[in-house]
Amino acid sequence: MKRSKKIYILAAVLLFACLSTFALNRYQEHVEKIKETDQVILEIPSDSVKSLSWEYKSKTLAFHKDEKWFYDEDEAFPVDEEKINDRLNLFKEFGASFIIEEVEDYGQYGLDDPVCTINLSTGDRSYEIKLGDYSKMDLQRYVSIGDGNVYLVKKDPLNFFDGDLRDMIDNDKIPSLDEVTEIQFAGRETYNILYEEDSPRAYSDDDVYIANINGKNLPLDKSRVDKYLRNISNLNLTDYVTYKASDEDLKSYGLDSPELTVTVKYTEKDEKNKEIADTFVLNISRDPKERKDAEKASKKDSKNTEKEEITAYARVGQSQIVYKLETDDYRELMAASYDSLRHLEVFPADFADIKQIDIRLEGNDYIITSQKKGNDRNYYYKTEKLDITDFQKAMENLKADSFTDESPGEIEEISLTVYLDNKNYPKLKIQLYRYDGIHCLAVVDREPVSLVKRSDVVALIEAVHAFVLK
């Protein structure tokens, strides 16, 4: 090998070694500048911020403050100021865990093409905060604030800035409705419900909701009314279709003349623990065209309409926000009829209040008496003390499969005249008539009430036989 060629090779090797040593030294120098810190890198008082914007997934949201916060593109948009403040509060004391000084390559931290860029402006200063990659090793995000450094931060700002405009709307608030005084329904059925403790119209202590139906005051099933109120309180009104509904919009959503309007009067305690009265109004409608088509279809085949997806909308009071309802939510809210909330039980009173039962079965009459001892009652047929368990269970199991006002057309299976220790309802007569192979017709105080399972009526008859045929 020629001497000159050897010299070139040696020079190349030497150059490579020098470059490698230089790169290693630079790497070591760079590593040495990554250090742990408890430094607060930003202190921006929330009330000093005049504008806030951020870019995420190629979309920019921008807001400005003029006494209150506004959305830049449409000042009619109802901005939730708490949500703005939640984001600003992040930067009141924005702390870092690690600092990387004199950064030369922002790309290795994902900061040359940030995941999100946040801009804040106070009266005299602007801030640009860039969010880079998420460090899986440290479980923190790389952030730059324009001071030449990169930080690993304790709180990931992306948890606050990964939403869209929908996340910033000031949605209508739904109260808890724990202390309801009155409920009014207007729609397919129009009636009102009063909350009355110790009501003179109650079958039992649990009957606190009294409905006024065609001039009659009728106790409702407390558990069913409470469930209906929970359905309202648990509504997730976030999927809005417009936040500035015009008269035309309301008409297109069927809310110019709602299918159902629910008005709930309630009380709640203010900050000073003082009880105040308030009213919550909810308007509900199915899409007008869909509703019309459904009404036509139901006349042909009601079974097919039960499983169909429904497009429906809701509006709180006179709010300009219109929300889309889930199918299940719509069905639950529309279940506001008297039949949907009344007692399913044929015998709605407390069994413990029964003083005497006169039974007519298969042409024979039987009398069950009782003696009260403290909070307990003992029951007797003639002089024999009864184990009333099966009979009580059978009576309480008599529940409506459906309600009806159809008059009985078949023979009476069994009748019970129940005498109660209840000043409101001292006497109650229940008659059960044969209807078909599946159901019997229940008549209470001479008024047809419901169809009940024939098997449950048979269980009641067998329970009577058990102690009268001994």
Interval 69-122: pLDDT, tens: 999 999 999 999 999 999 999 999 999 999 999 898 999 999 999 999 999 999
Residue 269, classified by CB atoms within 10 Å of its CB into exposed (0-12), middle (13-18) or buried (19+), is: exposed
Which residue did the predictor score with more confidence, 154 or 208? 208
CATH 3.30.1490 positions along the chain are 34-167
Give buried/exposed letters for 420-440 (b at 16+ CB in 10 A, else e).
Answer: bebeebeebebbbbbbeeebb
Q: What is the mean pLDDT of the chain?
A: 91
pLDDT at 302 over 80: no
Question: Identity (one letter) of the amino acid at 433?
Answer: Y
Q: Please state which of the four CATH numbers 3.30.1490, 1.10.760, 2.40.50, 3.90.320 is assigned to the domain occupying 34-167.
A: 3.30.1490
The per-residue pLDDT for range 396-418, each reduced to its tens digit, is 999 999 999 999 999 999 999 99
The per-residue pLDDT for range 423-447, each reduced to its tens digit, is 888 999 999 999 999 999 999 999 9
Q: Which residues are CB-contacts of 223 (< 8 A; sequence separation ≥ 6)?
A: none
- For 226-235, what is the mean pLDDT? 97
Which residue did the predictor score with more confidence, 32 or 144? 144
Tell me what pLDDT residue 25 has: 44
**Of all residues in the chain, what percent carry a pLDDT higher than 90?**
79
Which residue from 75, 91, 58 is spatially nearest to 164, judged by alpha carbons?
Answer: 58
pLDDT at 347 over 90: yes
Tell me what pLDDT residue 4 has: 52
Which residue from 412, 393, 401 is spatially nearest to 462, judged by alpha carbons?
Answer: 393
- For 160-171, what is the mean pLDDT? 95
pLDDT at 175 over 60: yes
The per-residue pLDDT for range 22-78, each reduced to its tens digit, is 444 444 444 437 788 889 999 999 999 999 999 999 999 999 999 999 999 999 999
Q: Which residues are CB-contacts of 339 (< 8 A; sequence separation ≥ 6)?
A: 403
Which residue did the predictor score with more confidence, 128 or 15? 128
Tell me what pLDDT residue 301 has: 64
CATH 2.60.40 positions along the chain are 180-341
Angle, helix 389-396 to helix 454-468, in steps of 10 degrees? 160
Q: Please state which of the four CATH numbers 3.90.550, 3.40.50, 3.30.70, 2.60.40 is assigned to the domain occupying 180-341.
A: 2.60.40
- For 252-264, what is the mean pLDDT? 97
Neighbours of 229 (CB within 10 A): 18
- For 205-211, what is the mean pLDDT? 93
Tokens matching residue 233: 């309180």
Which residue did the predictor score with more confidence, 335 or 296? 335
Tell me what pLDDT residue 29 has: 46
pLDDT at 15 over 80: no
